[in-house]
Structure 1
Amino acid sequence: MVRDRNFRNESPAPQPTDARGVMIPLGLLIRLSRDKRGIGAIEFAILAPVLLLLYLGALEITVALSVAKRTSRASGTIADIVTQQSSVTKSFLATMPSAASAIFAPFGTTGMTMKITGITIDSSSKATVAWSWAQNGTTPYSAGSAASGVPTDMNTAGSFLVRTELSIPYQMLSFGPDFLPSGTNTITISREYFYRQRTGQSIPCSDC
C-alpha cells in the first residue's frame, strides 16, 4: 500500500460554542459581527438621557434668569412709583405687592417679601432711616437708625432716597424636585434699588 505523500491527517477546526456548550455556526458569528443595524439604537440609548438633561438644564437656567429679571424690574419699578409721590401712607405702600405680582406674571409670587424705606441724607452726607414699611405690616428699621448700603454716587447731602428690597424664593428643578436633596432645591433671588425723590425735599410717610 502506497501512501499519498500529500495526504494530511488533519482534524476539522473546532467550532465555537456558547456557555452551555452548544455549537454556534461560524457563519452566523460572522454575519452578526458584520451587522451594523443596531448601532444607531445603542448610540441613541446612550445619548438620549444626556441630551434630555442638557435640555432640561438649559430650560431651568432660562426660567431662573427670567425670574431674576422680573425681580429687578419689580424692585426698580416700585421704588420709581414711590419717589413720584409727594407723601405716602401705609395703605398706599400696601398696594405695591400687587404691582409686583403684575410684573412677575406669569410666575407666582408666593413667599415674596418686600421692604420699602425712606432715607434722609443730611448736610454732612449721613444717611438715616426716616421711615420704613414691610409687606407683613411691620417696621423693619427704626426711624433715626443708620441706613446702610447707600451707593456712593447717590449719597448727596440734603437729598432723600427711597430704597426697595425685594426677595422671592425660586424652586429649582420644579419638574422633578426629588432630584435634589431636601432643602437644597430652593434659592432666594433678592434685589435692592435706590431712587431719589422727584419733587420736594422729602417723601414723608404719615403713619409708618
Structure 2
Amino acid sequence: MTSAIANILQRLGRDQGGVSAVEFALIAPVMVLLYLGMVEISMALSVDRKVTNSASALADLIAQDDVITDDEMTDILNAGAAIIAPFDAADYSVRISSISMSLTNDIAVDWSDARGMAARAPGSEPAIPGGILSPGRSVVWVEVAYSYDAPFREITGDFEIEEEFFLRPRQSLTVSRQ
C-alpha cells in the first residue's frame, strides 16, 4: 500500500502538465490589480490636469477684463464646468475672488463669486502666500476643487483634487465687479 502511494507521488512530482495553469493562477490577481491601479492613476492624473487647466483659464479670463458683469461671471463659471468635461461637473467647485493690498499692507477681498463652495465675504482678510501682492495692487484668485470618485475605490479610495491660481489684472490695477 505504501509503495503504491509512493509511486503515485513520484509520478505526480515528475508531471509538468499543470505548471503553467498554476503559475497563471498565482500571477493573474497581481496583474489584474496592477492594471486596475494604472487605469486609476491615469484617470486621476487626467482629472488633475483638467482642474489645473480650469483654474488657469478662469483666472486668465477674469484678468483680461477690467469690469466683470453678472452675465460674464455666469459664463465664466459655466466655462469652468465645460473645461472639466468629460468628468462629472457635479463634483466640480470653483471660487473666484479679487484680492487687493492697501498702501498700508492690509489685504482684503474686494469681491468673490463661487459655484459649489461658499464665496468669500467682501472685506475679509484671506491668508495668501507671501509675495503675491504688493501695496496698491490686486490679484485675481481662482480656487478649484474636484471631488474625485474613484471607479476602483478599493485600490485608491476617493480624494479631493484642489488647485489655486493667482493672476494680476492686465487692463487695470483691479478688476471691478458689477
User: TM-score surpassing 0.5?
Assistant: yes
Alignment map for 1:59-70 (pairs within 5 Å)? 59-70=39-50
Alpha-carbon deviation of 1:25? 6.7
Letter in 1 for 2:114: A
Q: Which residue of 1 aligns with 2:134?
A: 156
Structure-2 separation of matches of 1:135 and 1:91: 14
Secondary structure (helix, strand or coil) at the match of 2:31 reads: helix
Structure-1 separation of matches of 2:168 and 2:94: 19
Alpha-carbon deviation of 1:113? 1.4
Q: Which residue of 2 aligns with 1:46?
A: 26
The answer on 1:144 being equivalent to 2:102 is no
Structure-1 separation of matches of 2:88 and 2:82: 9
Q: Which residue of 2 aligns with 1:74?
A: 54
Letter in 2 for 1:200: S
Q: Which residue of 2 aligns with 1:126?
A: 106
What 5-or-longer segments of structure 2 have no aligned partner?
none
Alpha-carbon deviation of 1:32? 2.2
Structure-2 separation of matches of 1:25 and 1:166: 70
Alpha-carbon deviation of 1:119? 1.1
Q: Which residue of 2 aligns with 1:166?
A: 144
Structure-2 separation of matches of 1:73 and 1:128: 26
Q: Which residue of 2 aligns with 1:89?
A: 69
What 5-or-longer segments of structure 1 have no aligned partner?
1-14, 18-23
Alpha-carbon deviation of 1:88? 0.4
Q: CA RMSD in A?
A: 2.2
Letter in 2 for 1:118: S
Structure-1 separation of matches of 2:118 and 2:43: 33
Alpha-carbon deviation of 1:165? 1.0
Query: TM-score normalised to the size of structure 2?
Result: 0.89
Structure-2 separation of matches of 1:125 and 1:77: 28
Alpha-carbon deviation of 1:67? 0.6
Asked if the contact 2:100/2:107 (under 8 Å) is kept, the reply is: yes
Alpha-carbon deviation of 1:27? 4.6
Asked if the contact 1:132/1:139 (under 8 Å) is kept, the reply is: no
The answer on 1:186 being equivalent to 2:166 is no
The answer on 1:110 being equivalent to 2:90 is yes
Alpha-carbon deviation of 1:55? 1.1
Letter in 2 for 1:127: I
Letter in 1 for 2:19: I
Q: Computing the radius of gyration over CA atoms, which structure comes out larger, 1 or 2?
A: 1
Structure (1 or 2) with the greater strand fraction? 2
Structure with more relative contact order (C-alpha pairs < 8 Å, separation 6 or more): 2
* Deviation string, structure 1 residues 72-114 (Cα, Å, up to 9, x no partner): 1101110111010010022211122322233222222222111
Query: TM-score normalised to the size of structure 1?
Result: 0.77
Structure (1 or 2) with the greater helix fraction? 2
